[in-house]
Amino acid sequence: GQQLNQSPQSMFIQEGEDVSMNCTSSSIFNTWLWYKQDPGEGPVLLIALYKAGELTSNGRLTAQFGITRKDSFLNISASIPSDVGIYFCAGSNTGNQFYFGTGTSLTVIP
Amino acid sequence: SQTIHQWPATLVQPVGSPLSLECTVEGTSNPNLYWYRQAAGRGLQLLFYSVGIGQISSEVPQNLSASRPQDRQFILSSKKLLLSDSGFYLCAWNAGIETQYFGPGTRLLVL
């Protein structure tokens, strides 16, 4: 199946810093999703995007649906230790089948 | 509200033994159901998905199979486990909106 390119693969940041990560695809998507996964648990949905150019926030998290519909971005402001985890993007053009990125591992140093 | 359950949470099985993982969803009707495998390298690999009872689509050839005996129940099975079947198995669902919600996962270790 199709794989999305997610970058960076890993990040080590100081508490309080902002975080940016992105996801790109060779195909156009109608839906972009962002998830966070803690060790040993299932991914938890953070933000869903359904329209090109859409900018959506969830607390300190903001995600954008790229205008080209081939990319999406996730920003975390003022990081805290509990932000630690792996962040996944997922894209779909059918609504039923999603393709997932390889994940960005975030480490927050207190 | 909707909830998704996976059972068991952890499983250690010998090579060649059978497998049965269960996923159930509550609070929704006629959901699409999915099985993913997540290896240590973090990527999520779609194994099977189902849009209704008895309807199973397979994404990759393997020694695993899936069944949907009831509307909100999805089973992942194998007759003989391989070492390479070890991993973290995730069930997911969606219904009516373009998103996916994941269960807590089952960690399988084949020895």
Q: Give the tens place of pLDDT for each residue, B20-78.
A: 999 999 998 899 999 999 987 678 989 999 999 999 998 876 899 999 999 999 999 99
Rg of chain A over all Cα atoms, to the nearest angstrom: 13
Please tell me the distance from the alpha carbon of residue A9 to that of residue B44, in angstroms, as a whole number.
15
Q: In the prediction, which pLDDT does A1 show?
A: 58
Beta-bridge mates of residue A10: A105
Q: Which of B6, B42, B98 is the closest to A50 by Cβ?
A: B98
Q: Which of A35, A45, A100 is the closest to B43 by Cβ?
A: A100
The rounded percent of chain A whose pLDDT value lies above 70 is 98
Residue A44 to residue B45, Cβ atoms within 8 A: no
Residue B42 to residue A105, Cβ atoms within 8 A: yes
The three-state secondary structure class of B96 is coil
Q: In the prediction, which pLDDT does B43 show?
A: 83
Nearest CA in chain B to A29: B98
A2: Cβ contacts below 8 Å, ≥ 6 apart: A25, A26, A27, A99
Residue A33 has pLDDT above 90, yes or no: yes
Question: Number of CB pairs < 8 Å for A and B?
Answer: 56
Please tell me the distance from the alpha carbon of residue B53 to that of residue A83, in angstroms, as a whole number.
38
Which tens digits make up the pLDDT trace of A61-96? 999 999 999 999 999 999 999 999 999 999 998 877
Residue A88 to residue B44, Cβ atoms within 8 A: yes
Residue B99 to residue A105, Cβ atoms within 8 A: no
Please tell me the distance from the alpha carbon of residue A106 to that of residue A21, in angstroms, as a whole number.
10
Residue B103 to residue A92, Cβ atoms within 8 A: no
A52 near B CB under 8 A: no
Which helix (DSSP H) or strand (DSSP E) does residue A96 occupy?
A: none
Q: In the prediction, which pLDDT does B59 show?
A: 83
Beta-bridge mates of residue B26: B3
Q: In the prediction, which pLDDT does B2 show?
A: 84
Q: Which residues of B49-80 are buried (b: 16+ CB within 10 A; e: fewer)?
A: bbeeeeebeeeeeeebebbbeeebebbbebee
Closest chain B C-alpha to A9 CA, distance in angstroms: 10
Please tell me the distance from the alpha carbon of residue A41 to that of residue B6, in angstroms, as a whole number.
11
